[in-house]
Amino acid sequence: MQDDELVIHDGRQSETAAGIQRGVCRLLRSAGFASVTELSLASGRRADVAAIGKSGEIWIVEIKSSVADYRADGKWPDYWDYCDQLFFAVPPDLPQDILPAETGLIVADAWGAEIMRSSERRALSAARRKAVTALFARTAAWRLQAIHDPGCAEQGV
């Protein structure tokens, strides 16, 4: 299998956004974080990438593939209720000065990523951390099961 065959395109993202997602997930894994993409939160929002570190720290990464994509989306402050740190991940050619200073910044492409600045750290309450961690674990387990038993979701199993 070639490396480019490992990128899953679900039709919701541009090719640029899918590449950024892949690079971000590679960076997070190298930093000891497990990540899940497109995590539907209790608020109804969907985090582009959610990650949990060895100590239980939760990060959310919001992917923006262009200036227009960033300007059209004002929901990003809602993610603070579900993470300890919040990052924007952008391609190398996006002007970084348009992004909010209180968020972290990751520059990424399909092959990797680099954290340019960390975000403010806003510790979650114990109850919210437990809820997000359980959601993360269940989502990851369901997706893994769907890989091993593709018909399970349709059967309500």
Q: Three-state SS for 127?
A: helix
Q: Is 12's pLDDT higher than 70?
A: no
Q: How far apart are CA 18 and CA 37, in angstroms?
A: 10
Task: Render pLDDT for 34-84 as a digit per residue (tens, 0 to 9).
Answer: 999 999 999 999 999 999 999 999 999 999 999 999 999 888 999 999 999
- Residue 6 pLDDT class (50, 70, 90 cuts): very low
Does residue 9 have a pLDDT over 60? Answer: no
Question: So what CATH class is 3-148?
Answer: alpha beta
Q: What is the mean pLDDT of the chain?
A: 90
58-63, strands of its sheet edge to edge? 34-40, 46-52, 58-63, 85-90, 104-109, 112-117
Q: pLDDT band for 88, please (50, 70, 90 cuts).
A: very high
What is the rounded CA–CA span in Å between residue 118 and residue 16? 23
Residue 22: CB atoms within 10 Å: 22
pLDDT reported for residue 154? 66
Give the Cα separation of 123 and 140 in Å (integer).
Answer: 23
The domain ranges of the chain are: 3-148
